[in-house]
């Protein structure tokens, strides 16, 4: 069983969105059984689960016993959580604007000093905006993954689902949905390659 943490102490970076879509990708593209642990007091992931569109379980706290039949555990950490996650692999989303980098850089440095496998995801990137594009490309040169802004994410959020939900036409037929799915698949492939 692989355990990862989606962590960035800065709020609003897309931790829940990324957690949900990584889990959906695990089911859709890799035939894995994921479990999302929603540690965010806002309960975004759990609210999505109540809608009934997600093909995986979400719980609100870390279980005392190892869950049966689970291939991948994704822990969605809350904002302002500066305690370094115990998971060996940490996925760190960050928005591509200068105001978001200070917290991210500090947390990234803490994780690297602790010898964590850090996977950076530049989230909600609009490549038509010069500063966002430059920031994203700079981080990509350092090994980061890019999740571009797109209507599939908006439709998924509106339906409390993920971009992998083919039961909702607005998502399934969304503009460039296959490209956005491929971006998530690339991130999950990198996660699964990291040592446990």
Give me the pLDDT at residue 152, please. 92
pLDDT at 196: 56
Residues of the chain above pLDDT 90, percent: 80
Mean per-residue pLDDT for 89-98?
93
Q: Half-sphere exposure (CA, 13 Å, Cβ side) for 171? A: 19
Q: Return the pLDDT at 52.
A: 85
- Provide the mean pLDDT of the chain: 93
Q: Which residues contact 158 (CB under 8 A, 6 or more apart)?
A: 170
pTM score of the predicted model:
0.95
pLDDT score for 64: 87
Q: What is the Cα–Cα distance from 62 to 187, expressed in whole angstroms?
A: 23
> 137 vs 34, which has greater pLDDT?
34
pLDDT of residue 92: 97
CA–CA–CA angle 136, 121, 195 (5° rounding):
135
How far is it, in rounded angstroms, from Cα 109 to Cα 104? 9
pLDDT of residue 76: 97
**Tell me, what's the pLDDT at 78?**
93
Q: How confident is the model at residue 150 (pLDDT cuts 50, 70, 90)?
A: confident
What per-residue string of b and e applies to 52-79 under the rule 16 or more CB within 10 Å gives b?
ebbebebbeeeeeeeeeebebbbbbbeb
Percent of the chain with pLDDT over 70: 99
Quickly state the pLDDT bin for 94 (edges 50, 70, 90).
Answer: very high
CA distance 141 to 148: 16
Q: Which CATH superfamily is domain 2-193 in?
A: P-loop containing nucleotide triphosphate hydrolases (3.40.50.300)
pLDDT, tens digit, 9 for 90 and up, residues 35-92: 999 998 888 999 999 988 899 999 998 888 889 999 999 999 999 999 999 999 999 9
Q: What is the pLDDT of residue 35?
A: 97
**Mean predicted confidence (pLDDT) in 144-163:** 94
């Amino acid at each position: 069983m692989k355990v990862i943490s989606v962590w960035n102490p800065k709020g609003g970076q897309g931790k829940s969105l990324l957690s949900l879509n990584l889990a959906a990708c695990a089911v859709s593209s890799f035939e894995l059984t994921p479990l999302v642990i929603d540690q965010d007091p806002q309960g975004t992931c759990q609210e999505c689960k109540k809608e009934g569109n997600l093909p995986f379980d979400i719980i609100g706290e870390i279980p005392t016993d190892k869950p049966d039949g689970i291939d991948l555990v994704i822990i969605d950490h809350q904002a302002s959580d500066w305690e370094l996650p115990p998971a060996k692999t940490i996925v760190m989303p960050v928005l591509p604007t200068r105001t978001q980098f200070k917290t991210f850089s500090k947390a990234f440095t803490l994780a690297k000093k602790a010898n964590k496998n850090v996977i950076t995801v530049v989230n909600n990137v609009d490549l038509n905006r010069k500063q966002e594009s430059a920031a994203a490309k700079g981080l990509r040169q350092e090994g980061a993954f890019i999740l571009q802004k797109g209507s599939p994410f908006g439709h998924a959020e509106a339906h409390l689902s993920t971009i992998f939900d083919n039961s909702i036409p607005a998502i399934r037929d969304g503009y460039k949905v296959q490209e956005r799915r491929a971006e998530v698949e690339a991130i999950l492939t990198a996660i699964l390659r990291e040592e446990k």
